[in-house]
Amino acid sequence: MAQLPLDLPHRVALGRDDFLVGEANAVAVALIDSWPKWPMSIAMLVGPPGSGKTHLSEVWRTRCDALCVEPDALSEADLPTLVANKAVLLEDVDLLPANAETNLFHLINLIKEEQGHLLLTSKIGPAQLEVKLPDLSSRLRAAVTAELGAPDDDLLAAVLEKLFQDRQLPVPEATIRYLAVHMDRSIAVARTLVGEIDRAALAGKRRVTVPLVAEVMKRLPTSS
C-alpha cells in the first residue's frame, strides 16, 4: 500500500551563504553585498516570481535589522517610526495601492534626509510601474536598480540540488540535469517541482530517478 504523503515542514535556508550566484543574479547579489555603500538611499530588486528577490531582501533585512512594511499597510504606516530605524524593506512595490503613493513619496524623502536606506522589490522595473504621482515616479526611476533574470542550466541545477538537500532527499546528478533541461527556467517552478517529487517519492516509497521525475512533470505545467 502506498504511504500517505504528509505536508511536513522542511528547512529552507535563507542565509547569504545559501544563495547561489550565477549570471542571472550576480548584479543583484553585488548590490546587496555592497550595502551600506550604496550610491543612493533607495535600491530596487526587480525580477519575476521565484527569481530570488525575497531571499536576497531577507538577507539584507537580517543584516541591517530593517523594518518591513507591506504595500497594503503603507498608507497607514507610522513613517517616523519606520525612518527612525534607518533601514526599511518594502516588497512588491508593483502592488502598491494608489492611496499609499503619497506615503511612499514621503518615506523616500525622509529616508534620504536621515541618511537611511530603503530596499524595494518588484516584478517590473521602475519605468513600468503604474504610479499616478509624478514626483514618486521620478524618485523610483532614480533608484539603484538590479535585475534578476531566469537562471541558466548550471544555476538551475545548483538550485535544484540545494532544494533537494533542504529536504534531505538524495538525488543523482543525472536526474538533476534532466530536470534542469526539461523544466521551465524558474526558481519558483523548481520549488514546486521538488515539492511534488518529494511527495511522489514518499507516497510510492521510490527513489528519485528520471522516470519518477518524468511522471511528476507530466502532471504539472512545468516542462518546456
What backbone phi and psi angles, to 5 degrees, belong to 7? -85, 70
Identify the pLDDT of residue 155: 83
CATH superfamily of 25-147: P-loop containing nucleotide triphosphate hydrolases (3.40.50.300)
- Residue boundaries of the structural domains of the chain: 25-147, 151-219
Say whether 151-219 and 25-147 share the same fold: no
DSSP 49: T
Identify the pLDDT of residue 209: 95
Identify the pLDDT of residue 152: 80
The pLDDT profile of the chain, 224 residues, written as one tens digit per residue, is: 333 333 433 334 444 456 677 778 889 989 999 999 999 999 999 998 878 888 899 999 999 999 999 999 999 999 999 999 999 999 999 999 999 999 999 999 999 999 999 999 999 999 999 999 999 999 999 999 999 987 888 888 888 998 999 899 999 999 999 999 999 888 778 888 999 999 999 999 999 999 999 999 998 865 55
- pTM for the model stands at 0.75
Cβ pair 191, 55 in contact under 8 A: no
- Which CATH code of 3.30.360.10, 3.40.50.980, 2.40.30.10, 1.10.8.60 fits the domain covering 151-219? 1.10.8.60
In the chain, what is the greatest distance between 2 CA atoms, to the nearest angstrom? 66
